[in-house]
Amino acid sequence: MRLKGKTAAVTGAGSGIGKACALRLAQEGANVLAIDLDGASAEKTAEQIRKAGGRADAAAADISEKEAVMAVAEKAAKCFRSLDIWVNCAGISVIQPFLAEDSEQVWDQTMRVNLKGTFLCCQAAVKGMLGHGGSIINFSSQSGKKGTNQYAAYCASKFGIRGLTQSIAAEFAEENIRVNCICPGVILTPMWDKQVNDYAKKKHITPEEVMPRFKENIPLGRLCTYQDVTNLVLFLASKDSEYMTGQSLNLTGGACTY
């Protein structure tokens, strides 16, 4: 097991990519603190890890609240005596016309969760890793590489995460704290389930046509999977990537090459 004895905190661990990351890190021997706004969902992830023979705990937290983030970081250190890996998966996504009446509200909420939340979690992670180093893995998106219509708040937040990643990586490289981010393409998650209809409306197609349309534009001919994501997370969390920091890695099947 490549992460035996390490401790990992994973946000958004109650479902989707976050849950997949928490389970994969645990399979590789890491102690896992599953963090989610929905505490019951986080506990279910932790319980699944424990049933499989791993060590895990859960915490409910709004990652846009500093006190909540610092509390879960302290819990990770208290439960497992260290903090070595932090994976920032939690986020929100809203498809909305730029001139919509509630666009400011969506903008503020998206920035609060996606960008401020990642910022606060990185602060907590760095504080927990000073003196021994560690790996912080942020999640941007292919929409953090190229802006798309009716996605202004989401794209801006994901571009911001890339800049945040580079800045923290440069500042704490001497402390052996590595900070990288993953830019996935389209992956079927609960988040996508909620916005397929909005995307179809934007493109003037039926909901049933959305995923086939995506596949047509991916050179490798398929959508990204949880396995694809967790393979890269494991690489970035392990010593195999010890010479990498400040990077924004595409995971798009060739659909995004910049």
pLDDT 10s digits, 76-99: 988 898 999 999 999 999 999 999
Task: Tell me how far the alpha carbon of residue 209 is from its chain's centroid.
Answer: 27
pLDDT at residue 210 in the model: 85
Percent of the residues in the chain that have a pLDDT greater than 70, as a whole number: 100
CB 18 within 8 A of CB 12: yes
Helix 39-51 with 16-27: angle, nearest 10 deg: 30
For residue 15, which phi and psi values (nearest 5 degrees)? -165, 175
For residue 139, which phi and psi values (nearest 5 degrees)? -115, 115
Mean pLDDT of 93-118: 96
Closest CA to 185 of 249, 104, 91: 249
Token reading at 17:
């990519």
User: Could you tell me the residue ranges of all domains in the chain?
Assistant: 7-186+225-251
Predicted confidence band at 195 (pLDDT cuts at 50, 70, 90)?
confident
243 is catalytic: no
Closest CA to 239 of 10, 28, 23: 28
pLDDT at residue 205 in the model: 86
Cβ count within 10 A of residue 209 = 12
Which of 154, 199, 226, 258 is the catalytic position?
A: 154
User: Is 90 exceeded by the pLDDT of residue 60?
Assistant: yes
Cβ count within 10 A of residue 254 = 12
Predicted confidence band at 256 (pLDDT cuts at 50, 70, 90)?
confident
Domain 7-186+225-251 belongs to what architecture?
3-Layer(aba) Sandwich (3.40)
